[in-house]
Amino acid sequence: MATTGSKYPTAFVSGGQWSNPNNAYANNGQATREDQNGHSQQWSTFNFGLPTIDTIYGILITIEGLWEDSNSIQVALSWNGGSNWTALKTATNFGYSWTVDTVGGAADNWGRTWSQSDFDTANFRVRFTKQGQDYVWMDVDYFHVEVFYTEVSGWSGGNVNTVTNQGAVNGVSLGSISKVNGV
């Protein structure tokens, strides 16, 4: 099984309710914050760089957070630009100092079968929803996503160009010809 490694968001979706959502892009001690129960924020553009994949086995979200008093973060994933979401997973292991918690994992597919295109920039999103008392803050310094997968068997990557219906050579139909990396 392979992994993408840790991929941080590089964009947030406007219209969210957390302050300074761009502060979640890096581990730098500058947080995005929310203090209202039920307020949400979405992030996108993780630049996964996935090769041609066979199977997605799991998705792990790692969050560094800090709370004022017993808050949690509900996490959901979208594969189609926020039109649909996975079931919620809850990160609760935070405290009065920066603490890391995870949801999902290497063998947790979040209740669905994922395809390669689900991880395109326009499609994949992560949504946090603050749970807890109103006027009690929840901070997130950073979070990242890691995807666990297997590549298509026998495929070593590269671009494939396919040409079809190109006639015949010595009476043998060519059908289709595939060219990998220009060869």
Question: Percentage of the chain surpassing pLDDT 90?
Answer: 74
**Tokens 């290497």 belong to residue:** 106
Higher pLDDT, 78 or 67: 78
Rg (CA), the chain: 21
**Tokens 């630049």 belong to residue:** 47
pLDDT of residue 133: 87
pLDDT for 12 beyond 50: yes
pLDDT of residue 158: 52
pLDDT of residue 71: 87
Question: Using 50, 70 and 90 to split pLDDT, how confident is the model at 157?
Answer: low
Q: Is 164 within a domain?
A: no
Q: Is 85 within a domain?
A: yes
Segment 136-150 shows an average pLDDT of: 96
Residue numbers of the domain that contains 15: 2-157
Query: Looking at the 3D structure of the chain, how many domains does it have?
Result: 1
Average pLDDT, the chain: 87
Yes or no: say if 28 and 140 are a contact pair by the CB < 8 Å rule. no
Q: Is 174 within a domain?
A: no
pLDDT of residue 95: 87
| Rounded-to-integer distance, Cα 57 and Cα 83, Å | 23
Residue-wise pLDDT for 87-115, tens only, equals: 999 999 898 999 999 999 999 999 999 99
Q: Is 32 within a domain?
A: yes
CATH of the domain at 69: 2.60.120
pLDDT of residue 156: 53
| Rounded-to-integer distance, Cα 162 and Cα 56, Å | 26
Question: Using 50, 70 and 90 to split pLDDT, how confident is the model at 53?
Answer: very high
Q: Is 108 within a domain?
A: yes
Question: Percentage of the chain surpassing pLDDT 70?
Answer: 84
Q: Is 68 within a domain?
A: yes
Predicted TM-score of the model (pTM): 0.82
pLDDT of residue 154: 64
Residue-wise pLDDT for 28-48, tens only, equals: 999 999 999 999 999 999 999
Q: Is 37 within a domain?
A: yes
**Tokens 């959901």 belong to residue:** 76
Q: Is 167 within a domain?
A: no
